[in-house]
Amino acid sequence: MSIGTSPSAQWLQLNQDANEFRKSRGEALHDDIVTSIYRQAETIADSVVHVDRCDGRTDWDRRIDDLVTSRYFGYPLMLLLLAGVFWLTISGANYPSQALAWLLFGLEEKITLLFQVVGAPAWLHGMLVLGVYRTLAWVVSVMLPPMAIFFPLFTLLEDLGYLPRVAFNLDQLFRRACAHGKQALTMAMGFGCNAAGVVSARIIDSPRERMIAILTNNFVPCNGRFPTLMAMAMIFMGMDVASAYRGLVAAGVIVGLVLVGIIVTLLVSWGLSKTLLRGVPSSFTLELPPYRKPQVWRVIVRSIFDRTLFVLWRAIVVAAPAGVLIWILANIDIGDFSLVQLAAGWLDPFGQLIGLDGFILLAFLLGLPANEIVIPILMMCYLSVGSMLELDSLAAMRELLVRHGWTWLTALNMMLFSLLHFPCGTTLLTIKKETGSWKWTLWAAVIPTVIAIAVTFLTAQGARLLGLV
């Protein structure tokens, strides 16, 4: 710096030098300072505290951390553990879901008999029983068992002290995306329910990075979308292999879709940090807590009441009006067509452009209150009946879909659109509550929808261009 420069020029040069220093050494300097503080703390503690290791006991916390946070073993172990949680959730929820569906739809017959006894008009029975009750029955039977398994398992990992290790492992990836390492925890919560993932973003102190976590949580599939993904994977990806390997192939497809969702989460986080939510990622100093024995019963009770029933109640409140709307659209005719058929015909050209059809797009639109009802709505539309239903086997569903022009490309784009499209009504209401802004709620719906359309369009046009369909 020359002596003759003006004070303002000197100040400008110093400011530029400071910015360059922050860019080049900011993170490293922060890490050095924190490391120095902890080393000094250890030195002081060692000078006044004596730990007797003559009894042969091992520092298991440190040994386990050397493995689970290892550069080489940390990611594989994390994926295996999360895959185990997903497998337990999916496998364990099958029979409870079937039993709950049998119970709830068995009650439907008795409710119908009650309507007949009191002489209720057919339209009232159709709206309240075939519309509202049947919608709620699908939502409860599909949502409750997976959440009742996933949330306690996830809370047990949290109580054990493993989740901070997940954030530690993924911190570098999210920092490169200009996001926060704790976003990994909110993303993991989204596998159970995206609304719960949005609420869990409260653990992020930075408003900018908390907003990024909220806007991108939808890109991991919640338990409401897993039934659609599993059905499509089993019908079109697993049916052509031996029965012993169908589950394995379907699971591989779903794992691939989950990885796609994680990659999109990182890319969109980076894009938001460069456009709508510009800023430098805040420093993230995480002190790994010691492992501890989970308090199993307390964890189970807390997760069921604070998470499972809370999220289920929100889904019920949003899904009940949807049942009325679906029944009305399917039972009001204009000429020779119902409102459902007319709406699907209007949407069909755009649906074909992105590898779907008008009925699929209509099912997603009508399924806004809850992702669980997308498949039943689609079956109702294809069969042109006036109430929601689900076929009794995957083979029967495949036959119906193929009869309506479905190919493996339709199934793939159905899964991609289900993975990436707008959040459900429950999640949107939660985003509005957490952000206090309709503007950010609208962005939370627009961003994933645009990405879903772009991905399915490119997939469909690419497959057609290559002659794969």
pLDDT mean over 199-204: 90
Spatial distance between the Cα atoms of 469 and 453, rounded to a whole number of angstroms = 19
pLDDT mean over 416-423: 95
Report the range out of 231-245, 296-310, 353-367 with the highest average pLDDT.
Answer: 353-367
Residues counted in the chain: 469
Residue 215 has pLDDT above 90, yes or no: yes
Of 31-40, 307-316, 416-425, minimum mean pLDDT range: 31-40
Q: Where are the domains of the chain?
A: 74-281+295-465
Angle between helices 207-216 and 438-465 (to 10 degrees): 40
Give 190: exposed, middle or buried? Use CB within 10 Å, 0-12, 13-18, 19+: buried
Residue 30 has pLDDT above 90, yes or no: no
Question: DSSP class of residue 333?
Answer: E
- Read off the pLDDT of residues 241-269 as tens digits, 9 standing for 90 and up: 666 666 677 777 888 898 899 899 999 99
pLDDT mean over 10-38: 56
Structure confidence at residue 345 (pLDDT)? 92
Structure confidence at residue 247 (pLDDT)? 66
3 state DSSP class of 334: strand
Distances (CA, A) of 284 to 68, 181, 287: 19, 7, 10
Of 185-189, 257-261, 320-324, 365-369, minimum mean pLDDT range: 320-324
Residue 308 has pLDDT above 70, yes or no: yes
Count CB-CB contacts under 10 A for residue 364: 24
Token reading at 131? 């519309």
Residue 359 has pLDDT above 80, yes or no: yes
Contact between 387 and 131 under an 8 Å Cβ cutoff? The reply is: yes
Residue 328 has pLDDT above 80, yes or no: yes
- Secondary structure element (H or E) that encloses residue 338, with its range: strand 337-338
Count CB-CB contacts under 10 A for residue 9: 12
- Read off the pLDDT of residues 117-168 as tens digits, 9 standing for 90 and up: 998 898 888 888 888 888 788 778 777 787 788 778 877 887 888 877 877 7
Give 285: exposed, middle or buried? Use CB within 10 Å, 0-12, 13-18, 19+: exposed
Token reading at 187? 């993303």
